[in-house]
Amino acid sequence: MRRFFLILTYIIFLSISVILLGLILYSPLPVLAGSLTNPEIQFAILLSIITSIISTIICIALAIPVAYALDRYEFFGKRVATLALTLPLTLPPLVAGIALLLFFGTTPWGKALDQTGFAVIFTPLGIIVAEVFVNIPYMIRILRSAFSSINPRYEYVAKTLGCTDTGAFFQVTLPMARHGLLAGSVITWSKAMGEFGAVLMVAGATTMRTETLPIALYLNISTGDLNLAVAAATILILISFITLCAVEYFDRGVHVF
């Protein structure tokens, strides 16, 4: 049995490695370097970085209090709230994108935002909204796991020494959850960089306007420009690899996956 399991592990490992390396090595290095200097790819890289950083910061700011409340407090509707906050994890991104498209495109709230100059549909703002909606459940889940691994008695001791609830949270609990926070931030940023379905539905696929790296890959493979598509895919693979290395470093007792 041991030999069979190990052989199967090596077969799957080698299959995945060969497939991904085949994609990375498809284009000769000079061609790949030339593709990376293409204005379209550079625009996609810059837009992806900006929108993913903004959406990750928003996810962190919203997920910290929500995850703490779900872990530490008992309140009416907690189970329902937990299910609702977890539901986007199981939804196909296209479904989340359609829901956002209808909400911001047909409801009075969406129309009011449009009239005040904060148009979401087919704009870079829509990219951020889609990334936050899809990724915040991951951040909440990771942080809740981090908070649950911290014994509440540390907070009680801090309060007996004069800390308020807020002081105990910021001076004791949050620093102790830093590994989960860092791991969650890295993986949320990586997922935002690679988000496609929800972004496509909400922000569209407009060249040099709402063109993130996944959208650039989609547009160029659709038009037959394989070199630019491979360049975008290679960048996304490198981002995923770096993310996994970072998560492995920061993930100490925190259930990320």
**Per-domain residue ranges of the chain:** 31-250
Distance of CA 245 to the CA centre of its chain: 16
CB 212 within 8 A of CB 48: yes
| Residue-level pLDDT at 250 | 62
Name which of 46, 222, 47, 58 is nearest 127 in CA terms: 47
Q: Which CATH class is domain 31-250?
A: mainly alpha
Distance CA 2, CA 192 (A): 39
Name which of 85, 41, 92 is nearest 63 in CA terms: 85
| Residue-level pLDDT at 251 | 60
Distance CA 32, CA 43 (A): 16
Distance CA 169, CA 163 (A): 9
- Each residue's pLDDT tens digit, 116-160: 878 889 999 999 999 999 999 999 999 998 999 888 888 888 888
Whole-Å CA distances, 196 to 93, 128, 131, 218: 8, 12, 9, 9
Q: Is the full-model pTM beyond 0.75?
A: yes
List the chain residues with pLDDT less than 50: 253-254, 256-257
Distance CA 257, CA 246 (A): 14
Distance CA 89, CA 60 (A): 17
